[in-house]
Amino acid sequence: MEVDNKYQSKNCDIRLGDCVQLIQNVPDESIGFSIFSPPFAELYTYSDKLEDMGNSKDYKEFFTAFKYLVKELYRVLWSGRNVAVHCMDLPIQKGKEGYIGLRDFSGMILEAFQEVGFIYHSRVTIWKNPVTEMQRTKALGLLHKQVKKDAAMSRVGIPDYLMVFRKEGEHEHPVHCDISVDTWQKYASPVWMDIDYSKTLNGIKGRDENDEKHICPLQLETIERAITLWSNKGDKVLTPFLGIGSEVYQSIKMGRFGVGFELKDSYFNEAVKNCKAAEADTNAPTLFDM
């Protein structure tokens, strides 16, 4: 299927192509907030394109490319505003590296952002069910039989993180977050225990055999909380890794202007559909409009 290389409306501007190239066309200090989940280096294969960071041969090559993007994020973001990066630490497989362990992927992301001048602002730990992880991955460290055999090789489950970074400078665009005390106390918790992992764009729309199945769309509740905390209505919210459009979809639903870049044609095609669906929902008349 032929895919247009962009979709623009009064609510969003999303483009098909390499984010490192496309972000160079974004004006300085024009973005109010950025949220995204980067490729998890070599863990998943997203496409066969040379520009795809997920095709890096190792972590050094991945972060060489990733740092070009981070430098551009610093340029386009308003001073005083934030970037939120969804990530997790990654399992090291014995078949690849000769031992079982964890790679400090979140720490590598932290280092990449600090190198270009970002301030490490906050980290949210997002709870994940270790039983679900065990059933999905069959990780040795999570098996009960391993606890009984030799608990020295047992480990806890791997949570998700939302790493938040701030661009220093004169703060001309304060964020006015109108939430209740109870809501703030929940959001201020260092661990978000109640994120529903089934609430993703893949979960909302019915799947059929022809649907594009993105490997790991970001949870809509995580995006919603981040947008609530760190942006105002009308702000431009950027995701350099658009995927099927979760961040822009949620931005539109919350009265922000979504900006996104996606390298893979099939993901971009789904993102356009999802953004149009968000626009239709947002513009639909209510009972009081009739």
CATH of the domain at 11: 3.40.50.150
Percent of the chain with pLDDT over 70: 86
Domain limits for position 197: 6-289
Average pLDDT taken over every residue of the chain: 88
138-174 pLDDT, tens per residue?
999 999 999 999 999 999 999 999 999 999 988 889 9
Closest CA to 250 of 281, 223, 284, 279: 223
Question: For the CA atoms of 161, 278, 211, 245, what is the dihedral angle to 10 degrees?
Answer: -40
The answer to whether residue 148 is domain-embedded is: yes
Does residue 37 contact residue 82 with C-beta atoms inside 8 Å? no
Residue type, 222: T
The answer to whether residue 19 is domain-embedded is: yes
Q: Which of 17-21, 131-135, 215-219, 248-252 is least confident?
A: 215-219
Straight-line distance from the first to the last Cα atom of the chain, in angstroms, rounded to the nearest whole number: 39
Comparison of pLDDT for 125 and 55, the residue scoring more: 125
The answer to whether residue 78 is domain-embedded is: yes
34-53 pLDDT, tens per residue?
999 998 755 555 555 545 55
What CA–CA distances, in Å, run from 211 to 112, 215, 269? 35, 12, 11
For residue 64 the two structure tokens come to 């060489």
The answer to whether residue 1 is domain-embedded is: no
**Residue at token pair 């980290």:** 123
Domain count for the chain, please give it.
1
The answer to whether residue 250 is domain-embedded is: yes
What DSSP character marks residue 116?
A: T
- Mean pLDDT value of segment 118-147: 95
Burial of 48 (0-12, 13-18, 19+ CB in 10 A): exposed
